[in-house]
Amino acid sequence: MPAGSINRRSVLRGAGLALLSPGLIHRASAQRQQVVRLVYPFAAGGGGDAVARIVADQMSAGLSVPVIVENRTGAAGRMGAKSVSSAEPDGTTLLIVPNPPVSIYPHSYQSLDYDPVRDFAPISLIATFDVALAVSPQMNIKTIAELISWAKQNPTKASYGSPGAGGLGHFFAVMFAMSAGVDFLHVGYRGSSTAVNDLIGGQIPMVVVTLGDIIEQHKAGHAHILAVSGGQRSPLLPNVPTFKESGVTAEGQGWFALYAPAKTPAETIDRINKVLATRLATPEVRDRLLKLNVVPQTSTPAQLAELQSDDSRRWAPVVKASGFTSQQ
């Protein structure tokens, strides 16, 4: 065989091998599909969906490709998470999700169709949000210490509403009760609005819900927030103390984060991470997120992985103490 033929085949073979590199595969895939799907595993129209759409807009501008939000609902967010866990790891299908499906569900569901650690590659934290405990103004209780004293004196009346069993509000209230040495009766509602309405109407003495679900009622004087769940006071409500400031060792925030399927190329992860770090830090975008009652906060992939791990350890004993399990 002529030497020239061998050389040409060697060159072609080398070119073929080059095309198999992860970066080139990703670029070829992006050129072919020209769309990134950002899966939000809950219904459209809520605050989390609004966060997802802001993130999609900023990613689209920073990456110069269309980024669309796909609301893939079902099974309390597990169906959407599962769909991303089994997606092609080429950067075109991503998951934006609050923390329960990746750090709490492993403890509250007897089985999951995905592994939150093994099946996802962390990209970046997006924002954090607090849980708040609010009482009816008619109770004339101004502090957590006063609430604890009242609950011990009125054990049959010490009930609280949350958006539903197995949610952040439910589990944070269990953490608070464990730390304070009191017993509360949990009343699970279908969503925050009904629980808050019953609080305002006097049907229930207190609620434990996300800060964004009660902050306007607090400002209007229809409810009184006693404490928020973060390690520091919320910039959205700086005059309200944390639980730790109130003498109770209860702390735990909610958060939104972005993930890719496992085995997504590191260069793809890094590129998206840098875009988010830059664009979510602009005053305009920060203001848009703050108006949704979440606090913008990005991270490195490693920091998000550590946060997820810490969060899982935080909630595991609380979920166990709550007695909550679900087979659905």
Q: Where in the chain is the domain with CATH 3.40.190.150?
A: 31-128+253-322
CA neighbor of 209 nearest in space, from 247, 145, 71, 218: 218
**Is residue 65 packed enough to be buried (19+ CB in 10 Å), middle (13-18) or exposed (0-12)?**
middle
The answer to whether 120 and 261 are in contact (CB under 8 A) is yes
Q: Where in the chain is the domain with CATH 3.40.190.10?
A: 131-228
Longest CA–CA span in the chain (Å) reads: 98
Collect the ranges in the chain with pLDDT lower than 50. Answer: 1-25, 28-31
CA neighbor of 206 nearest in space, from 151, 271, 266, 145: 151
Residues shown for the chain = 328
Give the per-residue pLDDT at 90.
95
Q: Which residue has the tokens 């080398």?
A: 14
Q: Which long-range contacts (CB under 8 A, 24 or more apart) does 194-198 make?
A: 195/161, 195/162, 195/163, 196/161, 196/223, 198/161
Q: What is the pLDDT of residues 6-50, one digit of tens each?
A: 444 444 343 333 333 344 445 544 445 579 999 999 999 989 999
Give the whole-angstrom CA distance, residue 68 versus residue 38: 6
Give the whole-angstrom CA distance, residue 171 versus residue 322: 7
Q: What is the pLDDT of residues 86-110, one digit of tens each?
A: 999 999 999 999 999 999 999 999 8
Give the per-residue pLDDT at 327.
58
CATH ID of 31-128+253-322, from 3.90.198.10, 3.40.50.720, 1.10.645.10, 3.40.190.150: 3.40.190.150
Give the per-residue pLDDT at 110.
85
DSSP 216-258: HHHHTTSSEEEEE-SSS--TTSTTSPBTTTTT------EEEEE
What are the backbone dihedrals phi and psi of residue 234, each rounded to the nearest 5 degrees, phi first?
-75, 135
Give the per-residue pLDDT at 308.
98
Give the whole-angstrom CA distance, residue 253 versus residue 106: 18
Q: Which residue has the tokens 């049959």?
A: 156
CATH class of 131-228: alpha beta
DSSP 71-137: E---GGGHHHHHHHHTS-SSSSEEEEEESIIIIIHHHHBS--SS-TTTSEEEEEEEEEE-EEEEE-G
